[in-house]
Amino acid sequence: MRKIPTAILGAGGWIGQHFARLLADHPWFEPPLLVGGERTQGRTLEEIWQIPEEGPPGPIARDRLTTASPAALERAGIRVAFSALPGDKASLLETELARRGIAVFSNASAHRMDPRVPLLIPEVNPRHLGLLHPRPGRGFIVTNTNCSAAGLLLALKPLRDRFPVERVYVTTYQALSGAGFPGVPSLAIGDNVVPYIPEEETKMEEETRKVLGSLRGNGIRPLALRVIANCARVATREGHLEAVTLPGKYPEEGDILRAWKDFHPLQEGKEPALPTAPLDPVLVHPAPDRPQPLPDRWAGVPHRARGMAVTVGRLRVDPDGIRFYLLVHNAVRGGAGGSVLNAELAVREGLLGEVV
Ligand SMILES: NC(=O)c1ccc[n+]([C@@H]2O[C@H](COP(=O)([O-])OP(=O)(O)OC[C@H]3O[C@@H](n4cnc5c(N)ncnc54)[C@H](OP(=O)(O)O)[C@@H]3O)[C@@H](O)[C@H]2O)c1
């Protein structure tokens, strides 16, 4: 198969750099054209690089961020645009790209609740891509969820497949990078916790219901699930920790652990079915003080899927319900990696007219 030409919009931002890391040597996608905003245009990727665990990816480290309109991207033959744009810019730009025949995989919230747009997590609701059929080769928008909702949904899905989950209480401890670069002022967050992230709680509640909803004709019927979220910003760098309570009658601990451990919707034999899919999307950590952001945020194998697994732990079962913690890498599974996985599923489903 010929590799598919791609671009990253907002390549200089936090999510944009994670996209660059994942796409520089992707087996199905060409190394991306890097489209930046006012601050980063004209600079090389290595000049603006911010991810401390890894250097800028070799094949594109010296590429300069450029400016490009949707018309210019269409003329350049770009087939897939990965969007790391701020929400206010994403709304019109992504619509225009899709109108020009480009497949847009977006992190922005602008189109998430649009009834015609799949809000996708391949392990959870792959059938929602059906909203786009039949249109191989045409433009469209697929979004991923809010970063905290992504972790919650991966932990919930195997439980909901086996047990009647009726109500979800979730409290988040969200990392600084969730606010992008440069993010929260250091004097506001150092020695502090901020119990307010604009619109975050509503996004978690609405998006969870849409993702778990059912495909009906041309739309998604949201699941009638009560989700009650409290979201706080804490002074960690990457990785959102979430405390989850599911009230109700649940079976014993072993059955719940088995539901998570047996959850492998994207495995073919012993291999991941898509290049960026983790072998185990939900990992159970047995230690009493895990998961934690620092040691657990890069969870996931194979190497290309690091940061794509959600770690759960501290499961407690009692007669009134269950409680557990989860940890999700906000910028990988909850951000760029989630979008890349969405694009891989779309390619595999023939939505780009290519056969893999
Ligand atoms: N951070 C997370 O954990 C996370 C997780 C899930 C979803 N998201 C969403 O993903 C999007 C990106 O988030 P982020 O955290 O990466 O924010 P960010 O660090 O602020 O990055 C946004 C980037 O967009 C660029 N930009 C602005 N206007 C542009 C334009 N017209 N053309 C091209 N680039 C443009 C900016 O470029 P300059 O720097 O050059 O001005 C900036 O680098 C947001 O919609 C956010 O809500 C973020």
User: In the numeric block, which tokens belong to residue 317?
Assistant: 């079962």
User: What mean pLDDT do residues 225-245 have?
Assistant: 98
Looking at residue 133, its pLDDT comes to 78
Q: For 334-356, give one letter per residue: b (16+ CB within 10 A) or e.
A: bbbbbbbbbbbbbbbbebbebee
What is the CB-side half-sphere exposure of residue 34 using CA atoms within 13 A? 32
Q: What single letter denotes the amino acid at residue 9?
A: L
User: What mean pLDDT do residues 286-300 have?
Assistant: 98
Looking at residue 217, its pLDDT comes to 84
Q: Distance between CA 329 and CA 334 in Å, rounded? A: 6
- Residue 353 pLDDT level (bands cut at 50, 70, 90): confident
Average pLDDT, the chain: 96
Q: Does this chain's domain 6-146+336-348 share its CATH topology with 147-329?
A: no
Pick the CATH number of 147-329 from 3.10.180.10, 1.25.40.10, 3.30.360.10, 3.40.50.620: 3.30.360.10
Q: Is the pLDDT of residue 49 over 80?
A: yes
From the list 111, 128, 147, 231, the catalytic residue is 147
User: What mean pLDDT do residues 159-164 have?
Assistant: 96
Model confidence pLDDT, tens digit, residues 53-79: 899 999 999 999 999 999 999 999 999
User: In the numeric block, which tokens belong to residue 115?
Assistant: 């009834």
Our answer to whether residue 147 is catalytic in this structure is: yes
User: What mean pLDDT do residues 37-47 have?
Assistant: 97
CB atoms within 10 A of CB 99: 12
Sheet arrangement for strand 103-106 = 33-35, 6-9, 80-83, 103-106, 140-143
For the chain, give every domain's residue range.
6-146+336-348, 147-329
pTM: 0.98
Q: Are 106 and 144 in contact (CB under 8 A)?
A: yes
CB of 35 closer than 6 angstroms to any ligand 1 atom: yes
Atom of ligand 1 nearest to the CA of 41: 40
Looking at residue 354, its pLDDT comes to 61
Q: Are 141 and 117 in contact (CB under 8 A)?
A: yes
Our answer to whether residue 231 is catalytic in this structure is: no
Rounded alpha-carbon distances, angstroms, from residue 168 to 213, 228, 321:
15, 6, 10
Q: Distance between CA 99 and CA 96 in Å, rounded? A: 5
- Residue 218 pLDDT level (bands cut at 50, 70, 90): confident
Q: Is the pLDDT of residue 356 over 60?
A: no
3-state secondary structure of 182: coil
From the list 26, 111, 128, 240, the catalytic residue is 240
Task: Give the distance from CA 200 to its chain's centroid.
Answer: 15
Residue among 334, 316, 168, 167 nearest 241 (CA): 334
Model confidence pLDDT, tens digit, residues 97-156: 999 999 999 999 999 999 999 999 999 999 999 999 766 668 999 999 999 999 999 999
Q: Are 282 and 263 in contact (CB under 8 A)?
A: yes
CB of 239 closer than 6 angstroms to any ligand 1 atom: no
User: What mean pLDDT do residues 15-34 have?
Assistant: 98
**CATH class of the domain at 6-146+336-348:** alpha beta
Q: Which of 38, 40, 85, 242 to mutate to test the pocket of ligand 1 (most atoms within 8 A of CB)?
A: 85
Q: Are 14 and 237 in contact (CB under 8 A)?
A: no
Q: Is the pLDDT of residue 22 over 90?
A: yes
Q: Which of 178-182, 227-231, 275-279 has the lowest mean pLDDT?
A: 178-182
- Residue 194 pLDDT level (bands cut at 50, 70, 90): very high
CB of 350 closer than 6 angstroms to any ligand 1 atom: no
User: What mean pLDDT do residues 35-56 have?
Assistant: 95
- Residue 52 pLDDT level (bands cut at 50, 70, 90): confident
- In percent, how much of the chain has pLDDT > 70? 98
Residue among 149, 310, 318, 162 nearest 246 (CA): 318
Q: Which helix (H) or strand (E) holds 284?
A: strand 282-284
Return the DSSP state at 251.
-
Q: Distance between CA 93 and CA 98 in Å, rounded? A: 9
